[in-house]
Amino acid sequence: MLFDSHCHLTLKDFHHDIDDVLKRASKKNIRIIISGDTLESSKEVISLIKEKKHIFPHLYATSGYHPYYSDDFDPAVISQYRTLIKESSVVALGEIGLDYYRENSLPENQKKTFQAFLKLSIEEDIPIVIHLRDAEDDLINILDKNGYSHKGTIHCFSSENPDFAKEFLKRGFMISFAGQVTFPKADSLREVVKEIPLNRLLIETDAPYLAPQARRGKRNEPSYIEYTAKKIAEIKDISVEDLGRITSLNTMRVYRINDDKAFMPKICYKIKNSLYINLTNKCSNDCDFCVKKKDNFIYGYNLKLKNEPDYEDIIRLSSDEEDFDEIVFCGLGEPTYRLDLLKKVAAYFKGMGKKVRLNTNGQGNIINKKNIIPELEGLIDEMSISLNAENKEKYQEICKSVYGIESYSDILDFVEKSSKSISVTLTVVKIPEVNIEKCRKISQNLGVSFRVREEYFKNI
């Protein structure tokens, strides 16, 4: 699934072939948010969706007022928007915002108009879609002055300054990228894309504008979202399928679009060619950088379990997945808490000829009060063990093991013993408190591989 989170399908560019445009998108499983940027166009979007929804069920609307028209803004229209946004298809207020690049309206009028809509979004508790060009400082000032803490998106983000993106991330916004990321000269924008955490990323076409490079000069349309998705997946080093799932989920979360299947807690979840198995949310650590402190949604999956799975659950759910080369025990907790289940599931997949990897905090022996390594031999091919610090004091400060400061030496002992029969990689998360080079040295001394991991929620 892909989600075109912003386009303008009521413009005259689409009058002659809107059904074909929607069919092409629907064939590729693309969901669409159609944006209004005047009162008139916002009404047209709602009518279009009413007319087409029985054939194309995944169409949504936003109602907005473009900053270009701020010189003509009449505060009386706010009451009409208050009515419009109660329509079931409307998921956000926008696009609204500031544009000092073209200055079609005076900045003072733009600010007043934007504030009026911001007030409406707070009163009606509806997310916003922001159009922003060359006016970052003023926009941030207005958000802060109004104590804006609702959610929303900076659509078609085009600033080449990653610091601005970080300011919006800090304030809870999603950042949406359009076809410009595919342009040959857009290296700086692609650098900004690298900095955006996956959980805050949206994609859009902004059709009929900004056709991606492969269709440059032509009218853009939602089915071309795949070019932007492909480029961003390449930048983020993930598959297009993963990028599509992640950005679609982000879109549904920010605009409160319900989809029970997408939001359901996941026991088995696929990333690239690996099938991950989420055995438990229980953990002996409370790491400062643990993803679950910020969000339970990782790589487009909800990993917060309602109930811990049993063997039958895992076998049944894994049979829905195809084309995976390995299974990985990894979720929002420490898998060795469920040692017997882990062994039984590993044996099942080994029997199918799959490679089996275990991601662990290395405290399995203390958790199970015995040496578990002989039990894992022949079942686990690879282990990623989180080292996370260069000494026991630092480890306890960052990871806060329930077993106290001595847990660090237990982990080193676990690494030493397990590396005799299992291929082991020690990992550290790249955070300023940790001395990466000292950790690398420890892994060299233990004769195991070493990998530095990026913090999943960096910049938030």
β 152-154/174-177 pair status: parallel
Q: Which is nearer to ligand SF4, 7 or 332 (CB)?
A: 332
Which residue in 45, 287, 367, 442 binds ligand SF4 (CB under 6 A)?
287
Work out how close the CB of 361 gets to ligand SF4 at its nearest, in angstroms, rounded to a whole number. 4
User: Site for ligand SF4 (CB under 6 A): how many residues?
Assistant: 11
Is position 290 an interface residue for ligand SF4 (rule: CB under 6 A)? yes
- The tokens of 314 are what? 């895992």
Rounded distance, CA 36 to CA 70, Å? 15
CA 404/CA 406 separation, integer angstroms: 6
Site string for ligand SF4, 305-344 (x = CB under 6 A): ---------------------------xxx----------
Nearer to ligand SF4, 220 or 336 (CB): 336
Out of 361, 396, 418, 425, name the contact with ligand SF4 by CB under 6 A: 361
Kindly state whether residue 283 participates in binding ligand SF4, applying the rule CB under 6 A. yes
Taking the least distance from each CB to ligand SF4, the nearer of 93 and 328 is 328
* Binding track, positions 393-412, relative to ligand SF4; x by CB under 6 A: ------x-------------
Asked if 69 contacts 104 with a C-beta cutoff of 8 angstroms, the reply is yes
Q: In angstroms, what is the minimal distance from the CB of 303 to ligand SF4?
A: 10
Rounded CA separation 203/182 (Å): 12
Residue among 327 and 428 whose Cβ is closer to ligand SF4: 428
| Residue 431 sits in the site that holds ligand SF4 (CB under 6 A) | no
Length of the chain counted residue by residue: 460
Of 148 and 276, which CB lies nearer to ligand SF4 in the complex structure? 276
Q: How far is the CB of 423 from ligand SF4 (least distance, A)?
A: 20
The contact pattern for ligand SF4, residues 210-239, with x = CB under 6 A and - = no contact, is: ------------------------------
- Which stretch in 120-128, 153-161, 280-288, 320-328 sits in contact with ligand SF4 by CB under 6 A? 280-288
CA atoms of 327 and 355, how far apart (whole Å):
6
Residue numbers at the binding site for ligand SF4 (CB under 6 A): 283, 285-287, 290, 332-334, 361, 386, 399
